[in-house]
Structure 1
Amino acid sequence: MLSLYPEIEPYQTHSFARETLTDGTQHQIYVEECGNPDGIPVLFLHGGPGSGCRPQHRRYFNPEKYRIVLFDQRGCGRSTPSGELRNNTTDFLIADMEFIRQQLNISTWVLFGGSWGSTLALCYAREYKDKVSHMILRGTFLGRKKDVDWVYAAGGASTLFPEAWHQLVMDLSETDRERPLSTYFSHLTSGDENVQLAAAKRLDLWESTIVTLRDHEFIVNDDDTPGPLAHSRIQLHYALNDCFIAPKPILNDIDELRHIPTSIIHGRYDIVCPVQQSWELTQLWPEAALIILPLAGHAAGEPALVDALVRQTNLIVEVTK
């Protein structure tokens, strides 16, 4: 079974200024490049929305063969302002991706994304289909209201983890318990920092609980930093707005993607993004290869998922020799 490549550090980092907001602040997008500057360009797309990139995300790719580009999406990770919601929609993120490609003088690149990262890859590819050489997607998330509700409304993942769902909604009104998104978002954007942080921690605990079926101990982040708060604010901002893609459903645009060699990796027991989403996608797009892993969940770090993802990045190296 394959594992991640060894740890590496960026050979170059960037902070790209984007448009100025009404109060004079600017979105600054953190970008890093790792591996071989002359290698196959690949863009890693993190999940969330709101998560940000981490050092292990560099390690799915052979650093001798790939020019590995990672960026923290608006308001995430090392991009600033942290947790900023203004000018933060899917279209803005797609524009940032294309801006990064141009700034780095990349003609075409591989897109590698899981969960929300897969959504963003698909949305970018249908707009810039001639700029994408391959895609590797994990745990497809189609961004529809029903996909959001599976995670954040009663009757979905809550039926598999009722005790964890109870912890999330127990202090809410009976009405709000059915779909607690609006109430939690109001807490995350309130003027009381204690209320904001408490809401972020409860959401973090729920999401950590359902992300994998492997035995583990769930630990809530006790660090009073903007990280978990920014993540939750951005995630619910997108969730409450149908991920800003409702007018252009992904499944309506498969013909724009059909020519792009694509592999889709999905854990059979993915609770966050049920495998049905990848199945629906490939029923309309049979040219894409769907690989269902029988003993995997959602978390990209699960051994079976790591093995499958690294095999796919290695395969692209082989076919592009």
Structure 2
Amino acid sequence: MDVANTCPPWDEGLLDTGDGHRIRFEQSGNPQGIPALSLHGGPGSGAGARLRTFFDPAHYRIVLFDQRGCGGSKPLGHTEHNTLAHLVADIETLRRHLGIARWLVCGGSWGACLALSYASAHRGACLALLLRSVFLGTREEIDWFFHGARRVRPAAWEAFVAPAPADRRSDLLAYYAEAVNDPDPTSALAAAQRWRCWDTALSQPEAEVPEPPPAGSPAAAALIARYRVQAHYLRHDCFIPHGGLLANTGQLAELPVALVCGSIDRVCLPQVTDQVHAALPGSRMCEVPGVGHDPFAPAMLMALRAATAVFAAKGDFCDWGVAAKAASRTAAPER
């Protein structure tokens, strides 16, 4: 069932944050169902319709929103008043605006980072957490993406690094942060396209290299904005407070938490999800064999839908994921 096509939104709008941003949101599924917030990744990617597909629309009231500077939120690519604390506050403002008492909060990659941050600040507003391919925003994770991952995709990394002068290659994040903010839109688009190609090589290595959008098109503006927002967050260590996201996990005691990751994820390494699992006693985890970072890979999509189905039926994640993780440990290829 393609929920993205069969479950169009029944409510959409722009929520004014009061500081220059307007946040696009939508609701779909069953208005009387279990409220579920599905957070997009990036930072900067925007909430595509496929984020609805993790939920049975007969049982869930599905809420999506585009984070500041992303997707249909205004102004596009804007980084002023755009930090992790702002996004957490936006989620809570949206919850109150929609009249939702508590909701299931779901997110993958950067969305998992945001979900953990929100739950730590607003534990009472959360029914549970469903986190895929967790990103904790650490310097080690960021360095892996820009430098360490060259070991697994050397040819793609060489193409990614090629435009950078030799004296800039030791800090590719700094180089690309400047490149995507180049005032020349043609140069900024070229840099954003190279970043996207490297992203794709790691997350979906079997996929074709994406074609660049036409210069000056809305798609080009969206691509540049995506990586401007992402560079803004990564250059500031995602605005995560000192001590890291796991410093306050005690506040999440007894909150149902399900964790999913792909055994060959090269963007958000599985050991990061393992780390979160160890820090959250009682959390359930499923490592999906042979799957990378793509949330819509069939086996990953099946695992996520199984988790939301279990939660809809029981209000918890029970024994979901335990057997799958044990089995996948023996099958997972070397990382």
Whether 2:212 is the aligned partner of 1:221: answer: yes
Give, in whole Å, the separation in 2 of the partners of 1:274 and 1:267.
8
Give, in whole Å, the separation in 2 of the partners of 1:71 and 1:223.
26
Give, in whole Å, the separation in 2 of the partners of 1:124 and 1:6.
25
Shift of 1:249: 0.6
Give, in whole Å, the separation in 1 of the partners of 2:189 and 2:204.
24
1:116 paired residue among 110, 113, 118: 110
Q: Is the 8 A contact 2:4 2:52 kept in 1?
A: no
Question: Residue deviations 1:277-315, cap 9 Å, x none?
Answer: 011111222311111111111110111100000001111
Q: Is the 8 A contact 1:205 1:220 kept in 2?
A: no
Coordinate RMSD, CA, aligned: 1.4
Q: Could you state the TM-score of these two structures normalised by the residue count of structure 1?
A: 0.94
Change (3 A) 1:6 1:239: closer
Q: Is the 8 A contact 1:82 1:230 kept in 2?
A: yes
Structure 2: which amino acid aligns with 1:75? G
Correspondence for 1:18: 17
Structure 2: which amino acid aligns with 1:182? A
Correspondence for 2:329: none
SS at match of 1:269: coil
Whether 2:199 is the aligned partner of 1:207: answer: yes
Structure 2: which amino acid aligns with 1:58? R
Whether 2:178 is the aligned partner of 1:178: answer: no
Shift of 1:235: 0.6
Give, in whole Å, the separation in 1 of the partners of 2:249 and 2:223.
34
Correspondence for 2:70: 76
1:145 paired residue among 131, 139, 144: 139
Work out the percentage of aligned pairs sharing the same amino acid.
Answer: 34
Correspondence for 2:298: 303
Q: Is the 8 A contact 1:13 1:31 kept in 2?
A: yes
Give, in whole Å, the separation in 2 of the partners of 1:256 and 1:112.
18
Q: Is the 8 A contact 1:29 1:73 kept in 2?
A: yes
Correspondence for 1:103: 97
Correspondence for 2:333: none
Shift of 1:246: 4.2
Change (3 A) 1:201 1:121: same
Give 5+ residue unaligned stretches, structure 1. Answer: 21-25
Shift of 1:4: 5.1
Give, in whole Å, the separation in 2 of the partners of 1:182 and 1:140.
24
SS at match of 2:128: strand
Structure 2: which amino acid aligns with 1:210? L
Q: Is the 8 A contact 1:254 1:284 kept in 2?
A: yes
Q: Could you state the TM-score of these two structures normalised by the residue count of structure 2?
A: 0.90
SS at match of 2:131: strand
Question: Residue deviations 1:90-142, cap 9 Å, x none?
Answer: 00000000000000010000011000000000000000001100111100101
Q: Is the 8 A contact 2:28 2:63 kept in 1?
A: yes
Shift of 1:195: 1.1
Shift of 1:247: 1.7
Correspondence for 2:82: 88
Give, in whole Å, the separation in 1 of the partners of 2:182 and 2:289.
43
SS at match of 1:178: coil
Shift of 1:87: 0.5
Q: Which has the higher contact order (CA 8 A, sep 6+)?
A: 1
Give, in whole Å, the separation in 2 of the partners of 1:114 and 1:77.
17
Correspondence for 2:244: 249
Give, in whole Å, the separation in 1 of the partners of 2:34 and 2:77.
32
Correspondence for 1:285: 280
Structure 2: which amino acid aligns with 1:271? R
Whether 2:187 is the aligned partner of 1:195: answer: yes
Give, in whole Å, the separation in 2 of the partners of 1:79 and 1:168.
29
Change (3 A) 1:219 1:284: same
Give, in whole Å, the separation in 2 of the partners of 1:175 and 1:9.
50
1:125 paired residue among 119, 131, 148: 119
Give 5+ residue unaligned stretches, structure 2. Answer: 317-335
Higher helix proportion (structure 1 or 2)? 2
Question: Residue deviations 1:29-64, cap 9 Å, x none?
Answer: 000000111110000100000000111111211111
Shift of 1:6: 6.0
Q: Is the 8 A contact 2:4 2:51 kept in 1?
A: no
Change (3 A) 1:4 1:112: farther
Correspondence for 2:24: 30
Question: Residue deviations 1:216-246, cap 9 Å, x none?
Answer: 2222332333111010000111111101004
Structure 2: which amino acid aligns with 1:243? C
Shift of 1:178: 2.2
Correspondence for 2:319: none
Question: Residue deviations 1:149-185, cap 9 Å, x none?
Answer: 1101x2x111111111111111212232122111111
Q: Is the 8 A contact 2:10 2:27 kept in 1?
A: yes
Count the aligned residue pairs: 311
